[in-house]
Amino acid sequence: MTRYLGTSVKRVEDPRFLRGLGKYVANLTLPNMAYAAVKRSPLAHAKIRGIDTTRAKALDGVIAVFTGEDLLEGTGGFKCGSLPCGFQVPNLNMPPHNPLAVDKVRHVGDGIAVVVAESPYIAEDALDLIEVDLDPLPAVVDARGAMADGAPLVHDSAEQNLAFHWPLGDEEAVNEALSKSDHVVELEFINQRLIANAMEPRAAAAEWDPATESLTVWTTSQNPHTIRLLLGAFTLGIPEHKIRVISPDVGGGFGSKIFHYPEEVIVPFAARAVGRPVKWVATRSESYVTDAQGRDHVTKAKLGVNNDGTMTALHVTTWANMGAYLSTFGPLIPTALYITLFSGVYKTPVIFGEAYGTFTHTVPVDAYRGAGRPEASYLVETMVDLAARKLGMDPVELRRKNLIPTDAFPYQTPVALMYDSGNYQALFEKIEELSGYESLRKEQEAARAEGRLVGVGFASCIEASGPAPSAVAVGLGAAIGLFESGAIRVHPTGKVTVLTGSHSHGQGHETTFAQIVADQFGIDIADVDIVHGDTGRVQYGIGTYGSRSAAIGGSALVKSAEKIREKLKQIAAHQLEASVEDMVYDQDEGTISVAGSPDMVKTFAELAFASVLANNLPEGMEPGLEESSFYDPANFTFPASAHVAKVEIDPKTGEVDLQSYAAVDDVGNVINPMIVEGQILGGIVQGVGQALWENGIYDEDGQLLSGSMLSYAMPRADGFPSIALDRIETPSPHNPLGVKGAGEMGTIAATAAVSSAVLDALAPLGVRHLNMPLTAEKIHQAIAAAGNGGGE
């Protein structure tokens, strides 16, 4: 039998996806199903003076129309509650978030009423017949501007629109170190808003069974158990054990499908109220104004550096846009997933960071691939580049001077985190070789001599992946522990069903988790099935985000497999009349034999059957072969990366040509290299999207100007060169697989690397900084301001 770990097993889920056999929420059709559509606010801020649903209700085929008031008042003793925030930082101001707006609307897209109809077409037609009398109010969209005197308030209960202030680090020590530094580089900049665009828009469906008084909800969620918990405890008030949440095949999430959304409340309410199954599927246009968005920071930073290149201190203040309501994990992102990352791969001795989370009349902001960590790496790497330029030092040389040494692990940063393992020097050696860094610099020199604008960008980044040890997570504000569950059920014939609390929505868990389990037992991967995404089948679990599944979900499976292997050894020892200590589990062959007597052997399948035949088991042993584990990690894992990008800018148009890209990542041990490379590549493309094209733009009235694929510039394949990938492996010492997170690393490094390259290209013109996205027009303006960029 071959071992699977470390090999590029083809994804077992792909044949069904490629043949159109995936089963998504939108595919679900239940007998007598009705269809919902949501009437949404066209204004960012307005008082609701009245809602007239008479004409909509009169339309042929409309079954019911409900408003926010209807949901709060309820029907038959059943009513909806406010959507809670699941991450409570100290002194958090948490105004109510009704599933449909009551009294006021607070962002374009805020739900006002829901139509239930015989077809999605009729539901959509009825939306036009709902008359909403809105009294427009002034809006605020800017994270820092929201705190200004006289700014319109999003919630009357939140003065200055402040949701929270979260400081970390010794500010006094930082200020003192800055005052003693040879140089202090300062920068004020924007990390622009991004909008997630999963291939599959969100959807929700629900069916109420009056016989058992139980509810089934199908939803496009990355964490169905969390949704069930919140539905049971907060938003629907139906007992948790009477709710089943199913997240079937889900077409991508990138974070935006972690959160508990209003439609997951509205649709079950409607289903129960009309006594029929109800389904809602978002249009792409709806996704743009309802899915939680990403980033959106205004930041002021100061980095101290001495003449020899030593970084001395970092001081950062960030205003983080929370949008109109606190999304489920909103406050976590610019705090514990951002400020704690300010040390990067460097041994900066003192660091202070603080974040003001503010309400604005925009779509809520929450985790988006990388979630706080790309913002941190962009900040740190941008400041490091500025320091290098200030000193006239090669940016890689300056970085090397400040790297955390390999013998310093585990490394305690000044911002709370303890890095588990790493080898940043090896990472640097490999990326310099892979990218041909020195020759890129020579090419650049030659190009500059010809007056061409060529830039080389470098980013070396850290990620805290695999959130998180439950004690740490809850201590920081999480409302639940962040362990993961994994159960293994061995059937009488030796076939295996695995039940994981993780959720795969593109990551390939059905393959990687099967690799893990098959290797644990030495069986064929085809004999292992992975079940996920159904609270009716899978024990309580946490779900997939923060690059946590392999490290935590995978480790839970290893723990369960170890328990099963131990039981198998006991059965084998009993039947072979040997002592358990002498039993050897051969994970290559899937057999257990007596040490020194290879012919005294039992196969995995023989022992599985023996466990249910149950006539010849050790004294007191229970029949059957099924074990579960709840694995709580000892720490985050800390993947690291070094990426190099080369660009050339067309001086006449400002257009950026990304000419080469190389990435070396350290995600610890690799389970499936093909899948990891896919994750890194996809992450890079997404990260470059932020650097060059993507921008969620609100005008001053709170209208989303980039609210469609036409105006929001998602990356396309033709914008990319071939990307060179390589890796080093420093295993995580604290999980049994030695793995680290791989899902977000590409995004975390690529934005910084490409921004660095563009700014490097423009450096000879005296351009110090440009905010992302680095569009052709913005760059052309900078070139023109420097006295260049005339006609052809």
Contacting positions for another protein (CB under 8 A): 120-121, 123-125, 283-285, 652-653, 655-657, 692-693, 697, 705-706, 710-711, 713-716, 718-719, 776-777, 780-781, 789, 791-792
413-433 CB burial, b ≥16 within 10 A, e <16 = bbbbbebbbbbbebbbebbbe
Closer by beta carbon to another protein, 599 or else 718:
718
Rounded least distance, CB 744 to another protein, Å: 23
Rounded least distance, CB 776 to another protein, Å: 6
Rounded least distance, CB 451 to another protein, Å: 17
Residue 409 identity: F
Measured CA to CA, the distance from residue 370 to residue 685 in angstroms comes to: 13
Tokens of 425: 């020097």
Strand intervals (E) in 338-383: 350-359
Cβ-based neighbours of 374, under 8 Å, separated by 6 or more = 295, 687, 690, 744, 747, 748, 751, 752
Closer by beta carbon to another protein, 281 or else 305:
281
Closer by beta carbon to another protein, 389 or else 778:
778
Helix 673-692 and helix 745-762, axial crossing angle in degrees, nearest 10: 40
Closer by beta carbon to another protein, 16 or else 716:
716
Closer by beta carbon to another protein, 429 or else 655:
655
Strand-by-strand arrangement of the 723-727 sheet: 453-462, 640-649, 656-666, 723-727
Closer by beta carbon to another protein, 149 or else 792:
792
CB 327 within 8 A of CB 292: yes
Closer by beta carbon to another protein, 47 or else 652:
652
Measured CA to CA, the distance from residue 382 to residue 689 in angstroms comes to: 17
Rounded least distance, CB 775 to another protein, Å: 8
Residue 479 identity: A
Rounded least distance, CB 117 to another protein, Å: 11
Tokens of 32: 């007598």
Tokens of 452: 């061409």
Measured CA to CA, the distance from residue 376 to residue 339 in angstroms comes to: 7
CB 437 within 8 A of CB 660: no
CB 140 within 8 A of CB 360: yes
Closer by beta carbon to another protein, 115 or else 215:
115
152-161 CB burial, b ≥16 within 10 A, e <16 = ebbbeebeeb
Rounded least distance, CB 120 to another protein, Å: 5
Helix 509-521 and helix 555-576, axial crossing angle in degrees, nearest 10: 30
Rounded least distance, CB 660 to another protein, Å: 15
Residue 562 identity: E
Closer by beta carbon to another protein, 615 or else 722:
722
Measured CA to CA, the distance from residue 776 to residue 719 in angstroms comes to: 13
Beta bridge partners of 647: 455, 658
Rounded least distance, CB 59 to another protein, Å: 12
CB 604 within 8 A of CB 521: yes
Rounded least distance, CB 233 to another protein, Å: 34
**Closest residue by Cα to residue 758 from 460, 395, 458, 462:** 458
SS3 assignment for 186-201: EEEEEEEEECCCCCCC
Closer by beta carbon to another protein, 471 or else 705:
705
Closer by beta carbon to another protein, 286 or else 484:
286
458-477 CB burial, b ≥16 within 10 A, e <16 = bbbbbbbbbbbbbebbeebb
Measured CA to CA, the distance from residue 280 to residue 348 in angstroms comes to: 50
Strands 183-194 and 162-169: unpaired
Rounded least distance, CB 769 to another protein, Å: 20
Rounded least distance, CB 134 to another protein, Å: 20
Beta bridge partners of 299: 189, 318
Rounded least distance, CB 777 to another protein, Å: 5
Rounded least distance, CB 746 to another protein, Å: 19
Closer by beta carbon to another protein, 445 or else 657:
657
Closer by beta carbon to another protein, 26 or else 215:
26
Strands 496-500 and 528-531: parallel
Rounded least distance, CB 436 to another protein, Å: 24
Rounded least distance, CB 655 to another protein, Å: 5
Rounded least distance, CB 111 to another protein, Å: 18
Q: What is the CA radius of gyration of the chain?
A: 28
Closer by beta carbon to another protein, 713 or else 786:
713
Rounded least distance, CB 653 to another protein, Å: 5
CA distance readout (Å), 255 to 327, 545, 593, 681, 743: 12, 7, 46, 17, 11
Tokens of 722: 């071939």
Residue 766 identity: G
Q: Which three-class secondary structure state does DSSP give residue 299?
A: strand
Closer by beta carbon to another protein, 577 or else 718:
718
Closer by beta carbon to another protein, 434 or else 697:
697
Cβ-based neighbours of 285, under 8 Å, separated by 6 or more = 707, 708
N-terminal to C-terminal alpha carbon distance within the chain = 65
Closer by beta carbon to another protein, 330 or else 789:
789
Measured CA to CA, the distance from residue 696 to residue 713 in angstroms comes to: 9
Closer by beta carbon to another protein, 697 or else 765:
697
Rounded least distance, CB 323 to another protein, Å: 21
**Can you say how many angstroms the Cα of residue 788 is from the centroid of all Cα atoms in its chain?**
41
CB 622 within 8 A of CB 410: no
CA distance readout (Å), 630 to 75, 225, 312, 500: 39, 14, 42, 10
